[in-house]
Each structure stands twice: as structure tokens, then as C-alpha cells.
Structure 1
Amino acid sequence: MIKKLLTGVVIAGVVVFAAVWAMSPVLAGQAIIRAAERGDEAALERLVDFPALRESMKGELNDLLIAEMRNDPRVVENGLGGLTTMLAPMFISGAVDTVVTPQGVAAMVTTAQAPEADGTPAPEPADARDEPDLHKAWGYRSMDVFAVTLTDRDRPEHSLALLLERRGLFKWQLAAVDLRTER
């Protein structure tokens, strides 16, 4: 009798632990979205790993800008295209440092748009009537990376994946944005 009770308690404990462990990134993603919608900078400071997010965005924006320049015949034909390619990371670095702030993250989350490759920040909705209707998709990319993909229902060709990374057993922080999800 006691052995069955103890076994039941252990099994219940394991099930509760697994459920909380699996749901923790969803709760963190929801907290980020709520904080962005409220403009709660203090909450965003806790929920976002800004140094990691900046480094991730610098790499992604640099890759996007170089790809755009390679596909632009004006840059290819221009003798300064190589110089532009070499200087692009410097300009992107400064732009990302300026844009990736609590306000910038809030704008990305509420509009499902990342800054442009040239560092132009994501647009902010003019007022409540202009706020996009966002579809949210949730899913693990690995055991330690969870994606919250935001898609504007009015512009389904634009989506933005917020990548949360595990920081301990139950804590998750926004550490990267997948810009390649934008079509």
C-alpha cells in the first residue's frame, strides 16, 4: 500500500516536472509578448539577453545586406561594391546597437517586423487601430532553443521568429531573431 502510494507520488512529481519544464518557454514567450504590448521596459530587460540578441542580429543583418548587394546590379557593376561589402558590418554594428533596445524589441514583437538590413528600425503602429493582427506559432527548434513565430495576418509574407534560449532548467530569454523567416 505505501509502496504504491510512494510510486504514485513519484510518478505524479515526474509528470508535473516534465509539464512545467516543457511549458516554461511558452510562458516566457507569452511574457515577452505581454511586456512588449504594454511597453514594459523593465520586464523586457529581464526577458531579453540584449548582448546575445545584438550579436545575432548583426550577423543576420550583415548576411542579408551582403546578399542584397550581390543581387543588385548597380553594386555589382560599381567598382566600389567590394569596399561597400567590407564596410557594411561596421555600419550594421552601430545601427543594431542603436535599434536593439527595449523599445526596439517591443516594436519588433508588436509588428512582427525586424529592422531593415540598413538598420532602419521596425515601424511602430500609429495607434491601436493600426496594430497588426498577429498569428503566433510556438515550437521547439532544439531542446535549448524555442521559437515564437509571429506573422501579420494582413501581410502573411512577413513573419518573424523570436528565438528563446534556455538559461537553466526553467528560465528562457530572447537571444536571437530569425530573419530568414521573412519571405
Structure 2
Amino acid sequence: MIKKLLTGVVIAGVIGLVGFWAAAPVLTGQAIIRAAERGDEAALERLVDFPALRESMKGELNDLLVAEMRNDPRVVENNLGGLATMLGPMFISGAVDTVVTPQGVAAMVTTAKAPDADGAVPSEPVKGRDEPDLHKAWGYRSLDVFAVTLTDRDRPENNLALLLERRGLFTWRLAAVDLRTE
């Protein structure tokens, strides 16, 4: 009888640990959204890996800028287009360093809009007026990466995937974004 009870307790414990392990990124994603909505900078500081997020944003925005420049006939035909392509990443780097702050993250999370290729961050909606109706999709991309995809129901082009990365067994941090969520 004791052996069966002990086996049941061990099985329940393992199931509980696996359940918490699987739910941990969802809880972190919800905490990030709540902190952004409240403007809780201290909570965002704890939940976001800002150096990793800045590097991710620089890469994403550089890719967008290069793609835009390649598709713009004015840049392709212009002799200075190559110079703009070379200098663009410098400007993006500076802009990202400036805007990826707790306030900038809060603005991105509450509007589902990332900075433009020029680094301009969306403004936070005024409470009660023009607040976006956000659809949230949750899902693992791998065992160590979890995506919270935010989409403005009224403006589906406003979407942003927040990528949480595992930091230990149960700890997750916002460390990247994916601007190409379509």
C-alpha cells in the first residue's frame, strides 16, 4: 500500500513538473503583456534580456531596410544607393539602442507594432481611446524558443512575434522579435 502511494506521489510530482515546465513561457508572456499594459518598467527590466533584444531588432530591421532598398528603383538606379546600403545599418544600430527600452518594449507590446526600418517606435495608445484589439497566439518554435504573436484585429498588418528564450529550466526572457510573422 505504501509503495503504491509513493509511486502515485512520484508520478503526480513528475506530471506537475512537466506541466509547469511547459506552461512557464506562457506565464512569462502573460507577465510581459501585463507589465507593458501597466507601464511597469521594473517588471519589464526583469522579463526582457535587453542586450539580446537589441541585437535581434538590429538584425531584423537591417534585413527589412536592405529588402526595401533592393525593391526601390530609385535606390537601385541612384549611384549613392550602395552608400545608403552601407550606412543604413549604422543608423539602425543607433536608433535601436535608443528605442529598445522598457517604454519602447511596452509600446511595441501594446500596439503589436515594431519600429519601422528607420527605427521609429510606435507610440503607446491613449487609454480608452484607439486601443488596439490584440489577438494573441502562443506556441513553441523549439524546446528553447516560445513565440507570443500579437496581431491588431483592426489592422492585421500590425503584427509582431515576441520570441521568449529559455534561461534555465523554468525561466524565460524576451530576447528577440520576429517581424516577418506572416
Could you say which TM-score interval applies, normalised by the shorter chain?
A: over 0.9
Kept in 2, the 8 Å contact 1:113–1:123? The answer is no
Alignment of 1:28-177 (within 5 A): 28-177=28-177
Deviations 1:122-179 (A, max 9, x none): 2321332211010000000000000000000101232110000000111110000101
Deviations 1:40-81 (A, max 9, x none): 000000000000000000011000000000000000010001
Using the TM superposition, give the Cα deviation of residue 18 of structure 1 relative to its aligned residue in structure 2, in angstroms.
0.4
What 5-or-longer segments of structure 2 have no aligned partner? none
TM-score, normalised relative to structure 1: 0.97
Number of residue-to-residue matches in the alignment: 182
Supply the AA of the counterpart residue of 1:10.
Answer: V
Deviations 1:83-112 (A, max 9, x none): 111111100000000110000000000000
Kept in 2, the 8 Å contact 1:160–1:178? The answer is yes
TM-score, normalised relative to structure 2: 0.98
Other structure's SS at 1:116 match: coil
Other structure's SS at 1:174 match: strand
Supply the AA of the counterpart residue of 2:33.
Answer: I
| Alpha-carbon separation, structure 2, partners of 1:30 and 1:170 | 15
Supply the AA of the counterpart residue of 1:138.
Answer: W
| Alpha-carbon separation, structure 1, partners of 2:20 and 2:49 | 22
What 5-or-longer segments of structure 1 have no aligned partner? none
Other structure's SS at 2:129 match: helix
| Alpha-carbon separation, structure 2, partners of 1:159 and 1:119 | 16
Task: Flag as ranges the 4+ runs of structure 1 deviating above 3 A.
Answer: none
Kept in 2, the 8 Å contact 1:95–1:119? The answer is yes
Percent identical residues = 85
